[in-house]
Every structure is written in structure tokens, then in C-alpha cells.
């Protein structure tokens, strides 16, 4: 229920749990992410729908023209989809952590390979696919391994920047 701009929720999440699905992901992973991804009970693929605005009349009824705003401003679609999808991905991590799950978000993967494998364009599917996530309009953002980490294998939390290093008050 975390907020997004105009409530236009572009996030789409594909959960990879079975080994066959994870093997499809393997060629797209950076070498340092292969072992931990294959070992994780679940890998969530956080993606976004470039046609998120199609649901605008239902999700933001107080502004009946918002769908047309995006249709007439295609340059805004990608930035809104990516920004709000990323925000929702952060909410996803907070929700998973609240359930006691460990989360390993990562961007070490080839998005073009992931999109081609998991979100192919309709012509690559022969035009007859009926997927839960519509083809070609979904773009991968980041991956997040989910599970319960082994406390023995954990290293101390890395340092964080101080407030003054990242924030300015005006």
C-alpha cells in the first residue's frame, strides 16, 4: 500500500522458485551473482510495465485525463515507470524484511537477456502466448534473492554514509 505518483503502480514481480526457471536466468547473471542466486530459495524479478497508465482510470479516478496525459507525453512513460517501479521494489524489500526474510537485491545482470528470456516480444512467441505478464511491455529493473541467510556466513554490516554526507537542509 506504499504510495506512488498518482497511484499508478507500474511494478510487476516474477518469482523464480523452481530450478528450471532459475537456470533460464543463469546466463544473464554477473559471475559474482550466480552462486547466491542459484542457492536462494526464491529470486524475485522486480520489473515494471511500460503501459502502467492503462490502469489509470481505475487507480486514479479523481483525474480522468491522466491516462491521456501519458499517451500524449511518451517521453514521461519510461521515467515514471522506472521511478515508481523502483519505489515499489523498495516497498517490496521492506515488506519481505517485515516477514523475517533476508533480501539480496542486485543489479548485476544483463537486462536485455532477462527481458528477452522472460518478457519476450509477441513475435518471438508466435503471437499466441497468453502470459500472466504481457509480453514486450514489461522491463526488468532489479533482482532480489529471498530466503533465510546463514548467520555463520554473514559478515558485519558494511558502513553507511553519514546524514551530512547525503543530505542538505535549506
Residues sharing a CB contact under 8 Å with residue 64, sequence separation 6 or more, in sequence order: 57
CA 13 to chain centroid, in Å, comes to 6
pTM: 0.86
CB-based contact 137:50 (threshold 8 Å)? yes
CATH of 5-166, one of 3.40.109.10, 3.40.50.12780, 3.40.50.1100, 3.90.1260.10: 3.40.109.10
* Amino acid 122: pLDDT: 63
Domain-wise residue ranges, the chain: 5-166
CA distance 129 to 98: 36
Task: Name residues of the chain where pLDDT drops below 70.
Answer: 122-135
Q: What pLDDT was estimated at residue 123?
A: 54
Amino acid at each position: 500500500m506504499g504510495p506512488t505518483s498518482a497511484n499508478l503502480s507500474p511494478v510487476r514481480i516474477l518469482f523464480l522458485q523452481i530450478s528450471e526457471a532459475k537456470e533460464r536466468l543463469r546466463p544473464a547473471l554477473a559471475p559474482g551473482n550466480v552462486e547466491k542466486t542459484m542457492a536462494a530459495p526464491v529470486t524475485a524479478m522486480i520489473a515494471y510495465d511500460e503501459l502502467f497508465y492503462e490502469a489509470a482510470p481505475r487507480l486514479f479516478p479523481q483525474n480522468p485525463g491522466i491516462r491521456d496525459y501519458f499517451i500524449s507525453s511518451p517521453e514521461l512513460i519510461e521515467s515514471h515507470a522506472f521511478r515508481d517501479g523502483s519505489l515499489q521494489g523498495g516497498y517490496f524489500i521492506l515488506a519481505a524484511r517485515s516477514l523475517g526474510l533476508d533480501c539480496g537485491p542486485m543489479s548485476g545482470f544483463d537486462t536485455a537477456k532477462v527481458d528477452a528470456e522472460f518478457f519476450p516480444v509477441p513475435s518471438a512467441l508466435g503471437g499466441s502466448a497468453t502470459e500472466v505478464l504481457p509480453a514486450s511491455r514489461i522491463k526488468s529493473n532489479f533482482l532480489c534473492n529471498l530466503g533465510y541467510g546463514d548467520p555463520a556466513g554473514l559478515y558485519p554490516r558494511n558502513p553507511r554514509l553519514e546524514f551530512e554526507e547525503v543530505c542538505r537542509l535549506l
